Every structure is written in structure tokens, then in C-alpha cells.
Structure 1
Amino acid sequence: MSTNQTLLQAFQQASYPVAGHSKRTVQELKRALESVDANLAGDMYGTGHVIEDFQARMAAYLGKESAVFFPSGTMAQQIALRIWCDQKNSPKVAYHPLCHLEIHEKDGLKELHHIEAQLLADTDRLIRLDDVEQLDENVACLLLELPQREIGGQLPDYSELEAISAFCRERGIKLHMDGARLFEITPYYQKTAAEICSLFDSVYVSFYKGIGGIAGAILAGESEFTETSKVWKRRHGGDLISLYPYTISSDYYFEQRVGRMQQYYEGAKDLASRYNQCYGFRTIPAEPVSNMFHVHVNVSAEELEPQLISIYEATGIGLTGNLRPTSESSCYFEVSIGDRYTDLPKSKLMEAFQLLDAAMKQI
């Protein structure tokens, strides 16, 4: 069995995983479906109260004219960029080198839509205004991911975000937000989702990350934009006969959790502080700006794994199920805080970190 498989198995058996909300089981969908009238009519090819009402509420929450529910964010974002490219009659967009479209989608944007990407900034830092000022004049749209997941969930200062938005509007460049974790950044910015979205021409949000729904995404913007997105949704095969299991779970868990983002944010800061006081550990960012962060460790995954497994068995605390090597002598993992962290026995958590600190000093 590989290192990560062994660690994942131990993590899954731990009594108190620190991250996320709960196991993704059928019970999560059942709970959501039981919250509505069993005779509620499902949607059909994107029409019907169950989907239209949810889309309208999300449009209002995001401060946009209209919103469309998609089965996946991958589909929604490719379509958003295609619309903006068609509008400008230019197949050029710009985004970060570690953008989801660049590293996780098998070149879908390029192969399906023949859109070229200008990569901005270095892989280990955020896009800044001076990067944006160097954009090719034919770029139709700039995509910004908030927060930037692959570098620990970092965020630009809000003033810089405002400056980038103003620059793009002055130059006629559409600004699209990869807001997969938009709800999770509102505590740090001390802004509403609508205030943040007002800086962007279009926005995508996810309902299975911080919200914890089954699957699905919202794409929001002006009505002309979203109506065009419905055409592309049909072309992509995303206009399923019914999406109500996804919209109902999205709606249910949105209502359950969107008001807890401050709690998750405070939990992330607390946990990051514990890691940063542990020998050989550091977090990126040093203090989280959302409910997520990366933990970097000055030992190899092979050296760290048995220590973690021993701690899980001794305390029941599960810190991570996945170690990713950064070199022969270092590794990292990602943490996203949800409901579980509040209910952890803090005495057990303290014991786990005491054991981890002692173990690291012996490696």
C-alpha cells in the first residue's frame, strides 16, 4: 500500500478529523431532501420553481441581475470565458499559472473553445496590478481566483482588487471571478458577497466546498450574459432533465452554513497558530485569510506518515489524509475548516500537537 493510501486509511478511521464538515454519504443528500415537501415538483431542463427560485435568490445574494445553476464549475467557467471572448471577437484570456482551468481541466478551454491563455504572475504569488497593466490589448477577459487555492488560499488586499477592477473597466477587459470559495473570504474582507462581486462582470461560486452541498455551481452576471450561458450549457450537455437533487442540497446547506463562515475562519486561524508553534511546521499564509491554508513540513512524507498515524491512533485526532512532496526532504498538505473543528475535544487536539512537536524533534 502506498504512503498516501496508508495515511488516508488511518485518517478515515480517526474519531475526530479536523477538516471539513462530515463524510460525504447518502445521508447528506437525504437530510437535504427531507427539508422540503415530498410533493415539490422537480425542475425540467432548467425550468421550474425549485431551480428558478434558487437562482433568483443567489443572484440577489451576489448582487447580480441573474444567475444560472450548473452541474459543475468547470463547465460554468469555460462558458463564461467563451462568452466574453465571443463578445470581444478575441480568443484570448488571462489568469494565474495555477488557475484551475490551466492545471486541472485537461486543457478543456483550449481544446473545446480554442481559447488562448496569457499567464500572469509567478506560480508562488498573487496577480498584482502591475501584472494586469502588462496585459495584451486583445485579452477579452481576466480571471481572478479568490482565494488562490494552490498557493494556500492567499488573497490580494481589497484596495488592489478595486484597482484591478477599475483598470479592467477602463480598458474594456471583462473581469471574471473564480469564486469557488467566495463565501469563505467575506469575514477577512469584511465585505458582503455582493460588494465583492460588484467589482466583477461575472462570477462563479461553488456549492460543494465550504457550503458542503452534493455538487453544483452558480454563474452570475447581467441577464444578457446568463441567457447566453444557458445556450452554452445546453451545448455542453449540462442542461440535464432534472438538477433538483443538486439545487435542493445546495439551497439547504447554503442556509445551514453561509452564516458560519466567521466561525470557520476563526477555526482556521486557531489551527494555523498551533501548526506554526510546532517544530518543523509553517503555514501559508502565516495567518489564514479564509477557512483554508497550506501546511509545509521540513521532513519527507515518508518520514512524517508513521508519526501522524501513531498520533491518530493515540488521540483520535485526524490531521490530514494526504501528504504531497515538495522535495526529497519536505512535504505539504491542505486544510479546509468546517463544522467538524468546532466539535473537536480541544484537550485531544492539544495532546495531538504535543505529540507531533515531540516526534518532529526526534526525526
Structure 2
Amino acid sequence: MNDSEDVEQEARRRRATAWYAAERALWHSPAEASVGERLTELRELLDVAHRFSDPYELVDTYGGGPVAAVEERVAELLGFPAAVYFPTGTMAQQVALRCWAGRTGSDVVALHPLAHPEVHEDGALGAVSGLRTVHPTTEPRLPTAEEVRDHPEPFGTLMLELPLRDAGFVLPAWDELVDTVDAARERDAVVHFDGARLWECGPHFGDRDLREIAGLADSVYVSFYKSLGGMSGAALAGPEDVMAEARVWRHRYGGLLFQQYPAALTALRGLQEELPRLPSYVAHARTVAEALREAFAEAGVPWFRVHPETPHTHQFQVWLPYDPEVLTAAAVRLAEETGTVLFRRWFPGPAGGPPGVAATEVTVSAPGLEWTAEDVREAVREFLARVD
């Protein structure tokens, strides 16, 4: 390990220690826990096992048991005939898009350049699955019906990430989403939803339930750890025949694990306990966002942005005109000196945005419900006092 790696490792350890030890936070990352705490949580999952299956039944072996219970629950929630459990969302989506490519006869997938496969998967769609991507739009939002309808190149599948995380967890209006899906159908394309965070989209779509939202698509992928607090894992839901093929490809991709009951039980717990709470997180995220804007304005920050202005989900971005390392250092000091975590890491601002801007992501979950607007404003004042 070289000197720069040593420095980064020490910085990472300091950040993790500060955030783990803090008494107050808007949210807790699943990674912010000790091994002992995680093992204690696993012991508590016995209650989950009692609720969803016979606790004396044999554990899952290449499926079955809690894994099968997750699949049944996801299919029911999303209104699809079947669902398949996957160890990762990256694998689930590759399999889905590969299955649809075989059915449509097209290896071309239309998606946003900020979508997860394009930004966070090291080119896996092309390198592993032999698929090619095109982009109906490069704007920091989901494509419109017109952009899908008028795209000059044929494609077999339209993939929509709901919400589009790297653009600021943004969603279209409901009517816009319906029109975009209809435009894909006009081109005889199938529609796949990257619904890693689909669970919290209902409030933005007029409190529509998951079945109505997922019902627009031919298949949907969902994650169990991004919003539901699970250990890991994902599911792909869709028609019976497509899911039967997905099981074959899951095995070929190395995703048919011998046993996955700990992760499956945390997924069941998340669906039972965390899913009903998400609308309250979305509502309070709007309170937090407004308080952040008020605090930055009161402090005379020369330029800032809370994006979206009204959060579409319980997650959003904050942009400030400072170096990312300066803001991250201030966030760490705030946690160390006051026991409060307002922000975590900051990164260079989004491509195409103003120069000299840093951005961070804010999540509001159960711990954040205890924060009043004044709590947020006070935390901003303390944070800005530590920005050198």
C-alpha cells in the first residue's frame, strides 16, 4: 500500500468512526454498524422467520424457504405473476435485459446515460451480455415521450430508472411517465423499470400504489437494501415465462447461491416494517429540504441549490460552491464535535453544472423524523461555521 492509499484509508476510517459514533443523523447507512451489532440483528430475525415461515422448516437450499417467501411477496406487491430473487441488482438487470433481447430480436437497450448500468457497472451490459445502449436524451431527467418516439435508431427495450438517482433522484410526472411508456409501445419495444428505489415513488405519483406503477412496465427490478434496510439482494418481477428463463440465466451468471436466508429474512423484514414508513420519510424530506434552503439563505451563502427543489422521494441532492474535500472535512468535524451528522461525503458537482460546485446526497429516514425545521437550520449553521 502506497502513501496515498494509507492517507485515504485513514480518512475513510475517521469518517466512518465519526458518523458511527454520532448521536443524531438524518439517516443511518446500512454500513454504519459493527459486526457484533449485525450479528445481534440476525438473532432478532427469528421473529421474522416465525411470521413468514415455519421456523423449524429447513433453510433455503438453492432457493425455497425465506427466498421463496421473498419472491412471492414481491410478485404480490408489484402485481406480477412471478418474481426471482437475485444476489445483486446488477445481475438481475443484465438477466432481464438479456431475456427481453432474445424475445424482441434486438440487442439494443434505450436508457439514460446516467442510468446505473452506464455509470456504476463497468460496462457490464456490453462486456458480459453483449448488449448495446442508446440514449434518447442526455438531459438530467427521464426521457420524454417525444424523445422516445423520435429516437432515430431502433431499440428493443426501453429501460427507465425510477427515480433517476444520479440526476438527483428525479421522477417524471405520472402522465409523462405513462406517455413515455406508450411511446415505447408504439415502437414495439418492451419496457423495463430499474426500480431499485421504486418503493418510495408512490407519493410523487399521486399516492398511486406499487401495482399501478409497476404495471406500466413489462418487468421491474427492485432492491432490498437501498431503501428497505436489508442486508443485500434484489428481485426481478415479470411474466412467468420470462422469469423461468431468468432463473436459468441466474444460474449461468453464478447467482444461484447455496443459501441466502439471512439476506432474505432482512428483505422480508424491510417489506413488512420499512416499506409502510417510506411515505412519511418522503413527506419529511420536503420539510428538511425547505429548512436547508432557508438556512443557506439566512447564512448568506453566495450560491446554493437543493435539487429537486421539492424532493420527489426521501432522497435529494445539495450543491454548494466549495471544494468537495473542504465540505467533507466540515461534515466530519461537525459529527466529531457536536455528535450531529447533517451531510456525509461531498463530490464534484454534476456534469454540465456550474463550475466549482460540490454535491452531496441527503436521505431522510426514521432518525430524520425526529428533526424539526429548526434542528436542520441549527445544524446548517454549525456546519457552515466549520467550512474553512
CA distance in 2, matches of 1:15, 1:195: 39
Matches within 5 A, 1:283-302: 283-302=306-325
Q: Which runs of 4+ in 1 moved over 6 A?
A: none
Report sequence identity in percent. Answer: 31
Q: Deviations over 1:61-108 (max 9, x none)?
A: 101111111111100000000011111222111100011111111111
Q: 1:10 maps to which residue?
A: 18
CA distance in 2, matches of 1:21, 1:31: 19
Q: 2:361 maps to which residue?
A: 334
What TM-score do you get using the length of structure 2 for normalisation?
0.86
CA distance in 1, matches of 2:39, 2:318: 31
Which residue, 31, 42, 55 being the options, matches 2:44? 31
CA distance in 2, matches of 1:55, 1:269: 33
Q: 1:79 maps to which residue?
A: 95
CA distance in 1, matches of 2:286, 2:241: 41
Which residue, 238, 255, 261 being the options, matches 1:244? 261
Give the conservation status (yes or no) of the 8 Å contact 2:145–2:181: no
Which residue, 178, 186, 202 being the options, matches 1:186? 202
Letter in 1 for 2:82: S
Which residue, 231, 234, 257 being the options, matches 1:214? 231
CA distance in 1, matches of 2:115, 2:97: 13
Matches within 5 A, 1:38-117: 38-46=55-63, 48-117=64-133
Q: 1:255 maps to which residue?
A: 272
Rate the CA distance shift 1:346–1:171 in 2: closer, same or farther, 3 A: closer
Letter in 2 for 1:84: W
What TM-score do you get using the length of structure 1 for normalisation?
0.92
Q: Secondary structure at the match of 1:186?
A: coil
CA distance in 1, matches of 2:41, 2:112: 34
CA RMSD of aligned residues (A): 2.3
The runs of 5 or more residues in structure 2 that have no matched partner are 1-6
Letter in 2 for 1:210: S
CA distance in 2, matches of 1:188, 1:202: 21
Q: Secondary structure at the match of 1:277?
A: helix
Q: Secondary structure at the match of 2:235?
A: strand
Q: By how many angstroms is 1:52 displaced?
A: 2.4
Rate the CA distance shift 1:49–1:311 in 2: closer, same or farther, 3 A: closer
Rate the CA distance shift 1:45–1:339 in 2: closer, same or farther, 3 A: same
Q: Secondary structure at the match of 1:74?
A: helix
Deviates more, 1:329-338 or 1:131-140: 131-140
Q: By how many angstroms is 1:218 displaced?
A: 1.1
The runs of 5 or more residues in structure 1 that have no matched partner are none
Q: 2:327 maps to which residue?
A: 304
Q: By how many angstroms is 1:215 displaced?
A: 0.7
Letter in 2 for 1:156: P
Q: 2:4 maps to which residue?
A: none
Give the conservation status (yes or no) of the 8 Å contact 2:162–2:194: yes
Which residue, 338, 342, 346 being the options, matches 1:315? 338
Q: By how many angstroms is 1:313 displaced?
A: 3.7
Q: By how many angstroms is 1:124 displaced?
A: 2.5
Q: By how many angstroms is 1:16 displaced?
A: 1.1
Which residue, 147, 154, 157 being the options, matches 2:163? 147
Letter in 1 for 2:142: L
Q: Secondary structure at the match of 1:69?
A: strand
Q: By how many angstroms is 1:330 displaced?
A: 2.3
Q: Secondary structure at the match of 2:27?
A: coil
Rate the CA distance shift 1:349–1:45 in 2: closer, same or farther, 3 A: same
Letter in 2 for 1:336: T
Q: Secondary structure at the match of 2:95?
A: helix
Give the conservation status (yes or no) of the 8 Å contact 2:233–2:263: yes
Q: Deviations over 1:215-239 (max 9, x none)?
A: 1111001101111100101101111
Q: Deviations over 1:109-161 (max 9, x none)?
A: 10111111002311523311122113355311010000000011000111011
Residues paired across the two proteins, number: 360
Rate the CA distance shift 1:85–1:29 in 2: closer, same or farther, 3 A: same
Q: Secondary structure at the match of 2:49?
A: coil
Give the conservation status (yes or no) of the 8 Å contact 2:334–2:386: no
Q: 2:3 maps to which residue?
A: none
CA distance in 2, matches of 1:139, 1:328: 35
Give the conservation status (yes or no) of the 8 Å contact 1:274–1:353: no
Rate the CA distance shift 1:356–1:109 in 2: closer, same or farther, 3 A: same
CA distance in 2, matches of 1:87, 1:143: 15
CA distance in 2, matches of 1:347, 1:314: 19
Q: Secondary structure at the match of 1:253?
A: helix
Rate the CA distance shift 1:306–1:141 in 2: closer, same or farther, 3 A: closer
Give the conservation status (yes or no) of the 8 Å contact 1:233–1:239: yes
CA distance in 1, matches of 2:342, 2:270: 24
Deviates more, 1:26-35 or 1:184-193: 26-35
Letter in 1 for 2:140: D
Give the conservation status (yes or no) of the 8 Å contact 2:80–2:239: yes
Q: Secondary structure at the match of 1:278?
A: helix
